[in-house]
Chain A
Amino acid sequence: MATQVISANRLGDGLVVYMTDGSGWSERIADAHAVTDKEAGEAAMAAARAAEVARLVVEPYLIDIDESGGERRPTRYRELIRAKGPTVRPDIGKQAEL
């Protein structure tokens, strides 16, 4: 199975966030808690759903990532854009702020 992390949007401001080790949430994908097997993925999703009930985030889901280049990158282009910001505005979004 591909390495995965959980992503969602934060309830209050809508920004893209990733679930960290301690079931916290970070705007940086680098901080995310990675899982590599199905059970760990399910456990992580259960924690994420609890965070949804606790009104921290909306619509959490697992995304595939690739860590081979030393930097952690989502494999799907859509997720890469979420992790960085609009490709047409390098001056805004995570790519500019983090």
Chain B
Amino acid sequence: MYLYDAIDQSLVDQRVEQFHDQVRRRMAGELTEEQFKPLRLMNGLYLQLHAYMLRVAIPYGTMSSHQMRKLAHIARRYDKGYGHFTTRQNLQFNWPKLEEMPDILAELAEVQMHALQTSGNCIRNVTADQYAGAAADEVADPRITAEVVRQWSTLHPEFSFLPRKFKIAVTGSPRDRAAARVHDIGLIIKSDEAGAMGYQVIVGGGLGRTPMIGVTVHDFLPKRHLLSYIEAILRVYNQAGRRDNMYKARIKILVHALGAEEFIRRVNAEWEAIRDSAVDLPAGEHDRIAAFFAPPRFEPLAKHDALFARYRLEDREFAQWARTNVAPHKQPGYDIANISLKPEGGIPGDATAEQMNAVAAIAERFSFSEIRVTHEQNLVLPHVRQADLYDVWQTLRSHDLATPNLGLISDIIACPGMDYCSLANARSIPLAQDISKRFADLKQQHDIGELKVKISGCINACGHHHVGHIGLLGVDRKGEEYYQITLGGSADENTSLGEIIGPAVSYDNVVDAIETITTTYVGLRTDGESFLDTYRRVGKEPFKETLYAAH
């Protein structure tokens, strides 16, 4: 894992001091709310429906057990005993007090954590594939790139007041688990025939009010040019992006307005001027950062562990969990264990302090103390010996953390919605809970197979509904909660945006509608065909018919 050097630590410590003073001045009346608001937002502190909300950065979703224990401690000591893991691989606390914020930030800084780049029109925390450094299909570890970008972007003076927020995602696998195509910049690491590394650079994806899939502006950018090239992109955006209309300020609108060709032309013109300057990272610095992400000391093991195979035969529940929640690792004898934060009827992404401590303890014993947060609001133990999976599973199960539903219909992304968020039109969480209860029968879930339901409480799309196989968007109909249904979205390497299939349905009818959709799919699918493939083959008509015929 990356460890702070003196520069990182003093930057974070200085920020704690600064904010301490700003809070003091606010409480003493030297700052008005208007003056204070941008300052608190720069430290991840929002004001939400019930209270303040603190967003803690977990850069590229990687953290240590030590940091997880600190989050558990903060949840207990300063909040109400729980936290919410989000689609941005961050953690949100829902009840922190302004008065205690300096203490909270100081505690975070003790474990090299902070809330920088979690808000405002800056380059936000870079997100990455949660299987980084572990996935069997990985070309290169995306965390090295993500960390390079983090160091370059943190408090970057030129890019601290962009037209709008800016989100970068990195993946190092052909299988896109980081939703690279719906970010402002998506970077996909590739290797050419000679084995040299480079990036496919995708720009102008995004969700929100105007969802768009990013366009590839460079097929293969040699690795050494990364920073100068994205700096060129940011410059074009910073100069030409719209500042007059918040809804048209994201880079996707600029790319769309100029057309991909003109946009690329401008980026290249800008790049010519800086590509051989000091912006790019010297090779030595790259290697220094890369060293932090060296693989842990894996034991030499056989490819398939006999004990693991035996437990799967003997214990059906374990076998079911292993089938859905365990993914192949690049190191023989190791696997990746996913921890579902979507128990039946639970709140997607919520974890209690007790659960956080349990995960930390398991990571210490079985996964080199490493933990990942996924953009699908789950956790990951990246490096588990196959021989230990049975123990891991049993321990997880005793903390209600072993629901075998990864990628299934109950593994739902839901934004906080009207239960917490001041911008919401409707609630998101209780719908997720109701859907997971309706489909509580795991046999049925497995029969339906991979199905991603994503729910947002308003058009800002924090719940990624546009790229859900089934997407739900909360709308306000004369004070009543209604939900628009989209079908056929996807955020993987074949990204697509969902299509609205008809009039919005009322809160009480949503779960029935979901069941109608899955029943329709089951009736239409060919052998082994997933929901998404079926939808892509038959289109929306059959679903529209069954869904709206009855009403």
Contacts and interface: CB of A to CB of B under 8 A. Distances in A.
Interface of A: 9, 11-16, 52, 54-55, 58-59, 75-78, 81-82, 85-89, 92-93
B64 to A, nearest CB: 29
Nearest to A88: B429
Contacts of A14: 47, 50-52, 95-98
A13 B97 contact: yes
A97 B47 CA distance: 21
A77 B33 contact: no
B47 A58 contact: yes
B309 interface: no
A77 B479 contact: yes
Contacts of A58: 33, 47
Contacts of A93: 50
A73 B147 CA distance: 50
A21 to B, nearest CB: 24
12 contacts: A9-B47, A12-B98, A13-B52, A15-B51, A55-B26, A58-B47, A77-B418, A78-B424, A86-B420, A87-B427, A88-B430, A88-B433
A78 to B, nearest CB: 6
Nearest to A91: B80
Contacts of A54: 29
Interface string B28-51: 010001000000000000010111
B419 A87 contact: yes
Interface in B73-107: 80, 95-99
Nearest to A79: B49
Interface residues of B, number: 26
A22 B27 CA distance: 23
B481 interface: yes
B433 A78 contact: no
A81 B50 CA distance: 8
Nearest to A9: B47
Closest 3 CB pairs of A and B: A14-B52, A14-B51, A86-B419
Contacts of B433: 88
B347 interface: yes
Contacts, number: 67
Nearest to B417: A88
A12 B99 contact: yes
Given A15-B50, A59-B33, A88-B433, 19 more contacts: A11-B26, A11-B98, A13-B97, A13-B98, A13-B99, A14-B47, A14-B52, A14-B95, A15-B51, A16-B50, A58-B33, A59-B47, A75-B479, A77-B481, A81-B419, A82-B49, A86-B419, A87-B427, A88-B429
Contacts of A87: 419, 427, 430
Contacts of B429: 86, 88
A89 B49 CA distance: 14
B418 A92 contact: no
Given A12-B98, A13-B99, A59-B33, A78 B347 contact: no
Contacts of B419: 81, 86-89
A25 to B, nearest CB: 15
Interface string B198-233: 000000000000000000000000000000000000
Contacts of A52: 33
Contacts of B96: 14
Nearest to B429: A88
Given A14-B97, A86-B419, A88-B433, A9 B27 contact: no
B355 to A, nearest CB: 15
A82 B424 CA distance: 12
A57 B26 CA distance: 12
Nearest to B30: A55
Contacts of B29: 54-55
Nearest to B33: A58
Contacts of B481: 77
A55 B96 CA distance: 18
Contacts of B420: 86
A82 B49 CA distance: 6
A13 to B, nearest CB: 4
A84 B47 CA distance: 17
A46 to B, nearest CB: 17
Instruction: Tell which of A14, A16, A82, A93 has the most Cβ of chain B within 10 Å.
Output: A14
A55 to B, nearest CB: 5
Contacts of A15: 50-51
B430 A13 contact: no
A92 B420 CA distance: 12
A76 B49 CA distance: 13
A59 B50 CA distance: 13
A57 to B, nearest CB: 9
Contact of B347 (A11, A81, A85, A88): A88
A85 B50 contact: yes
Contacts of B47: 9, 14, 58-59
Nearest to B97: A13
Contacts of B52: 13-14
Nearest to B414: A88
B49 to A, nearest CB: 5
Interface string B479-490: 101000000000
Contacts of B27: 11-12, 55
A89 B430 CA distance: 10
Contacts of A9: 47, 51
